[in-house]
Amino acid sequence: NGHAGFLLSCYDAKLSYDSKTDTFQARYSPHVRQTTEENISWDRLRAPPVDTCSYDLHISNSLFDLKPGDHIEIQWRRNREFPYGWWYGVVGHMESCNGNEIHCRCQDTDTVMLEFKQYPSSSRWRKTMINRENHREVGNEGDGFYGGIRKLYNQQEISMWQSLWPKQVVE
């Protein structure tokens, strides 16, 4: 959509193949401002990671396993009329933790810090916290809504996301 922050996101789309360029055209939800993207290469396509409809909250089954350094995908949508997309992030340390592995107790807390390191530390998009025990859709109309989380266990999935990493931090 022209914003580098969206490089680390994934949305459902209807695709058409252009055999002349060996690329695809994607048509996104009619709710999205720019609904068409062209010249999409094969390496930017993937099948949905779960069987959850893009309008439904994914039921997270790995929240109690999350610890700092884990790679995740989290559902995000602009407002409740939009479908969810998947955003890449990592589990971070709580602000009360100094990050020392020996003393870290972040995995034992009810709250999980999620980080989106493609954004500068001053950005409102850089961090969010979710509740392990009572996680549901959280957010507001100004910042959007976070939904279900899936922990990434497969190095191939993690590498795919990292290959899309922006060359510089997104402002």
Considering only CA atoms, which of 159, 167, 153, 170 is closest in space to residue 43? 159
Average pLDDT over residues 22-34: 76
pTM here is 0.84
Q: Tell me the CA end-to-end span of the chain in Å, nearest whole number.
A: 15
Lowest mean pLDDT: which of 50-54, 88-92, 109-113, 135-139?
50-54
**Per-residue b or e along 57-85, where b marks 16 or more CB atoms closer than 10 Å to that residue's CB:** ebebeebeebebebbbbbbbbbeeebbbb
How do the domains of the chain map onto residue ranges?
Answer: 4-44, 63-163
% of the chain with per-residue pLDDT over 70: 88
Which tokens belong to 41?
A: 């290469």
Query: What is the model's pLDDT at position 2?
Result: 47
Interval 66-110: pLDDT, tens: 999 999 999 998 888 888 889 999 999 999 998 888 889 999 999
